[in-house]
Amino acid sequence: MPLLHISMRAGKPDVYRQAILDSLYRAMREALNVPEGDEFMTISELAPANFRCGNAYGVNRSEDAVLIQITVFASRTPAQKKALYRRIAELLGDNPGIRPEDVFVNVLDAPAENWSVGHGIAQFA
């Protein structure tokens, strides 16, 4: 039950943004065994004045950087997360062509009782 928020500079075409969503969904299916149809993702496009990525940690980022925050059940192993990071960078490199240096991923672990996927019910608690 991942929940994704993607932030990026405004101005990319629809097909570019859809490729990001498709690649992220595929990476989660492959690395985290996310079930078919488990797609909860948003993209926020920000004006250049509202989006800044530095070059900290020895990574030279460009204006095409994307910030990806993924909230998941607190059940994913470090190995699964490492596989996810690697697969996201590979797939986004293939389509829509984002450099690995421009892929910033943050995974947040949340206990199962912190989720309600509809009807006001804590389905996983």
Q: How far apart are CA 68 and CA 104, in angstroms?
A: 6
Residue 77 lies in a domain: yes
Summarised one tens digit per residue, pLDDT across range 68-83 is 999 999 999 999 999 9
Total domains, the chain? 1
CA distances from 111 to 25, 26, 57, 85 (A): 21, 24, 30, 21
39 in any annotated domain? yes
Specify if 76 maps to a domain: yes
Q: What is the DSSP letter of 10?
A: S
* Domain assignment present for 122: no
Residue 109 lies in a domain: yes
Which range among 70-74, 99-103, 120-124 shows the weakest confidence by mean pLDDT? 120-124
Q: pTM of the predicted model, to two decimals? A: 0.94
Question: For residue 108, what are the domain limits?
Answer: 3-53+62-114
